[in-house]
Structure 1
Amino acid sequence: MEAQFFDTDLKTSKQAIRLITEWNDAKLIDRMVKVNLPGVWTFTSDSKWAGRKVLQEPFIEHYQKFNSNSGWADDSFPWARVMQGLSHFSYHASGGKTLLCDLQGGVYKNGVVLTDPVIMSKTREYGPTDLGPRGISSFFSSHVCSDYCRKDWRRPSDQTRYYPRTSHTSMEHHVPTRTSRPNMTMTSYK
């Protein structure tokens, strides 16, 4: 379970890097957007933490939250509007398969460094913060295109709000079960 968590987080970061590289290559703005790729570190001391793993990444100064995975966005300043454009771009560039969101990080003179992004997908393959098609619909239910979006960029046909709009990261918890196990019967339980 622990290995799957780290693998999913790294997979999300790598997909975010691919989408952000496409954004940067399109030169839609005159600054760079980057994302931290976390490393998996293992505690080696003799403490109670020995053997435990953590995700580690460089410290980000001037931290700000730009948008969430439920459709919340702070559009009160230019970089936040750029990040909304980046989220919309990611959906368009992926052919409607994924949406890069829950963008947060540090604003610097020459660009932005993002940390811990969320990828939502049609297939829900990016962990508990991937709210799937309903999450993508919720995001777009309140997305207002800014100067950093293009009119011809695709949007999902369903733009219904399925999740409450919040600045915090929304998660769905799924408990995996073995498909070989039968369903329990409720007749013998009270």
Structure 2
Amino acid sequence: MQNLDLGMLEEGDEEEESDNDSEDETIEVERRAPTIIFSPSEVAQAFSHFSYWATGRKRLVCDIQGVFCEEVNKLRLSDPVIHYYNSKKDGRKMVHGRTDRGRKGFAMFFETHDCSRLCRLVTKGFKRPARA
């Protein structure tokens, strides 16, 4: 075993050391809050799923197209298809135009939809109403 001389710390050294400690704490806080990044596709899919729950399972906004502008971090969505179904008003067909497939449109969307982390975040907390 080696004999190590740790020496004495001068007061100035201790202050400098404590300044470095607060910098380390700041860096540590920054590490705890990572940036969350989602792809434009994940945003569109999550928005579609959100629209279903936000309308009490009566409407679904899907087949969304859009353009992502990276410079301003903005996703501009366009050309949606809106499907509508309400079991109490079963006779209403194509409420939102010729692309409105009603309940069949819901089924087509959910057959291919995989919930992402963003999807689960935006639909969390919605009261699950009885089926429309």
Q: CA deviation digits over 1:8-59, x for unaligned, max 9? A: xxxxxxxxxxxxxxxxxxxxxx9xxxxxxxxxxxxxxxxxxxxxxxxxxxxx
SS at the partner of 2:99? coil
Change (3 A) 1:156 1:134: farther
Match for residue 134 of structure 1?
104
Which structure has the greater CA radius of gyration? Answer: 2
Q: Displacement of 1:114 after TM fit? A: 1.6
Q: How many residues align?
A: 83
Q: Displacement of 1:156 after TM fit? A: 9.6
2:69 to 108, 118, 135: 108
User: How much is the aligned-residue C-alpha RMSD, in angstroms?
Assistant: 2.7
Where do 1:6-155 residues align within 5 Å? Answer: 78-109=39-70, 110-122=73-85, 123=92, 124-150=94-120, 152=124
Q: Structure 2 counterpart of 1:111, which letter? A: K
Match for residue 176 of structure 1?
none
Q: Displacement of 1:115 after TM fit? A: 1.8
Q: Displacement of 1:155 after TM fit? A: 9.8
Q: CA deviation digits over 1:132-177, x for unaligned, max 9? A: 11111111122110011126455997xxxxxxxxxxxxxxxxxxxx
Q: Percent identity?
A: 43
Q: Structure 1 counterpart of 2:98, which letter? A: P
Q: TM-score, normalised by structure 1?
A: 0.39
> Counting helix residues as a fraction of each chain, which structure ranks higher?
2
Q: Displacement of 1:104 after TM fit? A: 0.5
In the alignment, structure 2 segments of 5+ residues that lack a partner are 1-35, 86-91
Q: TM-score, normalised by structure 2?
A: 0.54
Contact 2:68 2:75 in 1 (8 A): yes
